[in-house]
Structure 1
């Protein structure tokens, strides 16, 4: 395995991954949500789609063995292992400047949308849009009365998700900077996370 790559706290990171390689996403400190996107490296207008994936796996939360699909209904990432409690989110859009304004923030606040685009630019690419992300480790329970809430992650320090690339792709991450709601733990202190790409 290669050395772990840091996804800095409140920032984004992206990398190219070949078909068949695995990506281990590590919740280093245990309570950090990692927004995750995947794009077809040959055509960035094809990307992992939560809407298409939910219709395919017939679940709100993917589990080991499930394959996420693109907006063209092709396999892109498969869950191979999950030691993080199996709680992730496919419902919430990436946080952005508009979200923080709605939450009462004045001025600029780091956000996952900007982190996606900054991470892609760092490797010389431009994402054509901001797809709805796979929010690894994010805890958004759906109640019997159909309401949802923002809760702290159930993941523990060092827990991880292992994914397999089903096509040549670009994967992008944001160590979510949310520090108003408890999605990164009740302390509201975003931290770095890590990932490892292996053959």
Structure 2
């Protein structure tokens, strides 16, 4: 796992497919997340390092935007309704998801998987543990690059991402923050185009 002590400004870091990482950012720093090969979802969380109970909240962010997904220039807020990250740049078509919970062992059992399967929920806990931290609950993540169409009749669908190789998003820290990224290991549905891939990130 990478921490701020091992990352140089602008250094491009690989996040392996199916794995997670926790990153400390200072207020004002920019995290650039690159969909290196295209079609890879990255579950994203953000926590107040002084109180991990304060976390980026999709439930609180949606009414802040009055829409389902953030667009360039939108800030994400915590469960205390404070700005924590701002989406400052997005070179993708802007298709992300704020509705779907992180995949977890129960989800994979329901999908028919026998035995262990990597999950974003597990990646969150392992990434925080690498920093000596722990949370008791898994907040709903910002699912960057995830394509979940919402239809007029209320149905949703798990569709392949529309992002292309090399497209990226930039997130600005609005406070000191711990960001956790999980290169989603979902390979049962179309979420990652059925083939999880590495992504890269950098900090500036």
- Bin of the TM-score, shorter chain as denominator length: over 0.9
TM-score normalized by structure 2? 0.94
Alignment of 1:106-117 (within 5 A): 106-117=114-125
Alignment partner for residue 78 of structure 1, among 42, 66, 86? Answer: 86
Q: Where does 1:1-199 land on structure 2 (aligned, <5 Å)?
A: 1-185=9-193, 188-198=194-204
Cα shift readout 1:118-173 (whole Å, capped 9, x = no counterpart): 11111222133210000000000101111100000010001001110001000001
Task: Find the aligned partners of 1:167 and 1:20 in 2 and give their Cα distance.
Answer: 7
Q: Where do 5+ consecutive residues of structure 2 fail to align? A: 1-8
Deviation at 1:36, TM superposition (A): 0.2
Q: List alignment gaps of at least 5 residues for structure 1.
A: none
Map of 2:6 onto structure 1: none
Alignment partners' CA distance in 2, 1:157 and 1:35: 18
Structure 2 counterpart SS, 1:84: coil
- Secondary structure of 1:39's aligned partner: strand
Between 70-79 and 121-130, the greater mean CA deviation after superposition: 121-130
Counterparts of 2:97 and 2:18, CA distance in 1: 19
SS of the residue corresponding to residue 180 of structure 1 reads coil
| 1:76 partner SS | strand
TM superposition score normalised by structure 1: 0.96
* Distance (whole Å) between structure 1 residues aligned to residue 27 and residue 160 of structure 2: 33
* C-alpha RMSD over aligned residues: 0.8
Given that 1:49 and 1:131 are in contact with CA atoms closer than 8 Å, whether structure 2 keeps it comes out as yes
